[in-house]
Amino acid sequence: MTSTDQTRFPAGGVSTPPAGHRPAGRASRRAETRRKWYEIVGLTTPAIAVYVMFVLVPMGFAVYYSLYRWRGVGPPTDYVGLRNYTLAFQDPIFLDALRNNAIIVFGSLLIQGPVALGIALLLNRRFRGRALFRLLVFVPYVLAEVTVGIMWKLILVEDGTFDALLKSLGLGGLVQAWLADLDVVIWTLLFILTWKYVGFAIILLLAGLSNVPHELTEAAAIDGASWWQTQRHVTLPLLGPTIRIWAFLSMIGSLQVFDVIWVTSVPAVRSLGASGTMATYMVDNGFFARLWGYGNAVAVILFVISFVAALLFQRFILRRDIEGAITRRAN
């Protein structure tokens, strides 16, 4: 079968149109257009092929599998329509996962944003050891997620380093079962995620700050603006695009967060809904409970939520920055 397909489409070589009795101008123009199309097709085919193979086809399969009651043995045969989707929204643990994702999305934006902005503004000033500070702030982001997860797990263990630190500071009363108390664990995880990803926000903002023309801040200073006023009225507005892009990346990352949660929070705590996210819920149910059809349904829900959030964000917030690329120009 494959061989006939191959023979129907001979590989390689752009055949040049036979030279001869056609009007030269039109023929060459047509040849030009054709050449351009060959070029476009030839150059984009590899990328499109990879995209189709590894993005679109798996997505299609996920949707297909999600409509079946399927345990991953043999081909899916038991078609159940949208049952897996309704089951997911009836499962209190999945709703808990949605809530946890929301906490992480908004928590990350509200905590990382201001903290990163403050640190970036500080690190943008000239002082001795600035490069070292910039490096230190970025270190957590470079560490692998699994490393971060295990590290914090060991630090936060009962009577571990963190509890000892609190006690030595006279704050023994604040000690919690950081990863065991079902009401505390999601905030512990939010803290770890913030610690890990704030460096990324800072680096982005520093890059944005380096694009703020020096003349503007200088002009503001000459006009008698204080440092605060300069930041508020000159730097911040010019940082807008960077902040918006960071918020976008942070939001999508928070919706899909998996590794730190998976490593730091044990299965029992996840299964009680205290710390699981949509992604960990998907793996716990898809692979561990061997509900492959159901797991695919959760994957599709996760995709739709992320996709809609991304579209809305681009439509209403990133609009100014990517005018024309995704959205139509107003009027």
Partner 1 sequence: MATRRRAGAALALFMTSALVVAGCSSGGDDDKPSESELYKNPVTLTWWHNANQDGPGKTYWEKVAKDFSTAHPTVKIEIEAIETNQLQRTRIPAALLSNDPPDIFMTWGGGELRDQVEADYLKDITDQVKTEVANIGSAAEIWQVDGKQYGLPFRMGIEGIWYNKDMFAQAGITAPPATFEELNAAVTKLKAINVTPIAVGAGDKWPAAHWWYNFALRDCSVDTLKKASLDKKFDDPCFVKAGQDLKAFIDTKPFQNNFIATPGQNDPTSANGLLANGKAAMELMGDWNRGTLDTVATDKAKLAKFLGWFPVPAISGSAGDPKAALGGGDGFACAKNAPAECVEFLKYIASPEVQKGYAETGTGLPVAKGAEAGIKDPALKSILEATSQASYVQLWLDTAYGSTVGTAMNDGIVGIFSGKGTPEQVVERMKAAASK
Residues that bind partner 1 (CB under 8 A): 3, 6-7, 69, 71-74, 87, 93, 154, 157-158, 177, 179-182, 185, 266-269, 271-272, 284-285, 287-291, 294
Cβ nearer to partner 1, comparing 123 with 269: 269
CB of 197 to partner 1, least distance (A): 24
Q: Dihedral (C-alpha) 105, 110, 113, 116: value to the nearest 10 degrees?
A: -110
| Residue 290 backbone dihedrals phi, psi, to 5 degrees | 50, 40
A 10 A CB-CB count for 214 gives: 8
A 10 A CB-CB count for 264 gives: 25
SS3 79: strand
Cβ nearer to partner 1, comparing 220 with 291: 291
As a whole number of Å, the CA-based R_g of the chain is: 27
**CA distances, 297 to each of 9, 42, 78, 85, 153 (Å):** 38, 36, 15, 6, 31
Cβ nearer to partner 1, comparing 60 with 72: 72
Cβ nearer to partner 1, comparing 254 with 284: 284
Cβ nearer to partner 1, comparing 87 with 221: 87
CB of 52 to partner 1, least distance (A): 20
Give me the residue label for tokens 């003349």: 215
Query: CB within 8 A of 305, min separation 6: which ones?
Result: 255, 278
